[in-house]
Structure 1
Amino acid sequence: MYRILPLLTPTEVAECRKIAAASQFVDGRITNPHNKAKNNQQLHDQQASQRSSQLLLQAFQRSEEFREFAFPAVIAPPLLTKYGPGMHYGAHADAAFLNLGTHRIRSDISCTIFLSDPKDYDGGALHVRYGDADLRFKLNPGEAILYPSDTFHEVEKVTRGERLVAITFIQSQLKNPFERSLLFELNEVAALEGLKMDQENFSRLQLVQANLLRYWADKP
């Protein structure tokens, strides 16, 4: 359902913080003026946004764990956002489709990359509601949380300090979350146990993996 993964090096975290400290942020509702739940700030400097976005996309591209869990087809440019005391993002669902210039992507997986040290701010947990479960995430700098975009979630009010994160959305090759989870688990088992298997049986397992991706995926 969700995955926490190490994404950024300490040097990359420091660079993102440096970019944020030297750049202009504006009211987060600039991209959605009618969103009454949103109370945060987002980066509004095109050059700074491009620098931070490229850094973060490169981190995603080198992460094998990310590729194996998300089966990414398209990653939206990550955006730096921050929350000061009193700021929050009320319970909401992410949009099903996002406009990226001349094309649109489907939001299958939402992602928050934590950049502030959790000791430096109070509140500000990412709260994801999944059925009767209440999941809260407040991760270390450089860690990312991936979770389904169709879940109800919020950022709880910050009461002290500043919460700096980057957010992005992923369109997966596998639209169906059940199929995505099943293939991820199958791939994990194959990676962990494959070398212990008879070679012919392992090859048959690899054929099953490839065929499931071939028939389920809606993007190469």
Structure 2
Amino acid sequence: MLMVIDNVLSKDEVRECRRHLDQADWQDGSHTAGTLAAGVKQNRQIDANATIAVELGNHIVRRLGSHPLFISAALPEKIYPPRFNSYSDGGHYGAHVDGAVMPLPGSHGTLRSDLSATLFLSEPEEYDGGELTIETAFGAQQIKLAAGDLVLYPSTSLHRVEPVTRGTRVCSFFWIQSMVRDEGKRSLLFDLDQSIQGLTPRQPKADPDILQLTGVYHNLLRRWAEV
């Protein structure tokens, strides 16, 4: 399931975020790539341990924690601390698949990457190129969103960032381990949850059909969740 989630950050939050990022120390992004990915990665990143990266990443995670559509779609168990990258002057990231299991910074734990996320921090008119191209069962989907919007997609997907030929593309990116690792089951739960939320305002309080559907949702989640 590929999903666009609007307004994860407001325009004011994006401007404040960019103000800090514009003053940050950017480094060659190939240093954080795996053996195969290093050959196709040309961008810049901020050191994940830099104070500003940690503070802005925590702010993004807090926003996600109160975003009902993100919670419904991802059913997050763990979120990898958001990182920040920048593409300009032909910068790109060739076709790759994200690593399956990642060590969590500052702990002895790991994260299974079920979902990948890119949060756009540049407006589309600020740069040319830079589309996030995701291979899906229905063909390649090109994503270029407004600043503050996020795309969520399966980490199993082959994807790439097209060359940026003008301007600068700034984004945050991270991964999610879902309580429900199976994409098909997670999609069914999302559809059911969205139907319940759509029906609830139109029905009387304590409507028995809504209560039954809610019970079905939670019993399926109870059966499928790995927590």
Give the TM-score, by structure 2 length.
0.92
Confirm whether residue 125 of structure 1 aligns to residue 134 of structure 2. no
* Equivalent-residue separation in structure 2 for 1:123 and 1:23 (angstroms): 24
2:54 is matched with 50
Other structure's SS at 1:182 match: helix
* Corresponding residue to 1:74 among 70, 75, 78: 78
2:89 is matched with 85
1:212 is matched with 220
Contact 1:13-1:141 within 8 A present in 2 as well: yes
Unaligned runs of 5+ in 2: none
Confirm whether residue 5 of structure 1 aligns to residue 16 of structure 2. no
* Equivalent-residue separation in structure 1 for 2:160 and 2:145 (angstroms): 15
2:158 is matched with 152
Identity %: 34
1:37 is matched with 40
Other structure's SS at 1:83 match: strand
Superposed structure 1 runs of 4+ greater than 6 Å apart: none
* Equivalent-residue separation in structure 2 for 1:201 and 1:62 (angstroms): 27
* Equivalent-residue separation in structure 1 for 2:207 and 2:55 (angstroms): 46
Contact 1:12-1:55 within 8 A present in 2 as well: no
* Equivalent-residue separation in structure 2 for 1:9 and 1:144 (angstroms): 12
Number of residues of Structure 1 aligned to a counterpart in Structure 2 = 219
Give the TM-score, by structure 1 length.
0.95
Confirm whether residue 62 of structure 1 aligns to residue 66 of structure 2. yes
2:192 is matched with 186
Q: Could you tell me how far 1:133 is from its partner in structure 2?
A: 0.9
CA RMSD, aligned part only? 1.4
Contact 1:23-1:48 within 8 A present in 2 as well: yes
Unaligned runs of 5+ in 1: none
1:25 is matched with 26
Of 29-38 and 140-149, the range deviating more from structure 2? 29-38
Counterpart residue type for residue 203 of structure 2: K
* Equivalent-residue separation in structure 2 for 1:125 and 1:24 (angstroms): 24
2:209 is matched with 201
CA distances 1:79-129 after superposition (whole Å, capped 9, x unpaired): 110001111000000000111132110001100000111101000000001
Classify 1:216/1:42 alpha carbon distance in 2 versus 1 (closer, same or farther; 3 Å). Answer: same
Other structure's SS at 1:36 match: helix
Counterpart residue type for residue 2 of structure 1: L
Other structure's SS at 2:213 match: helix
Counterpart residue type for residue 133 of structure 1: G
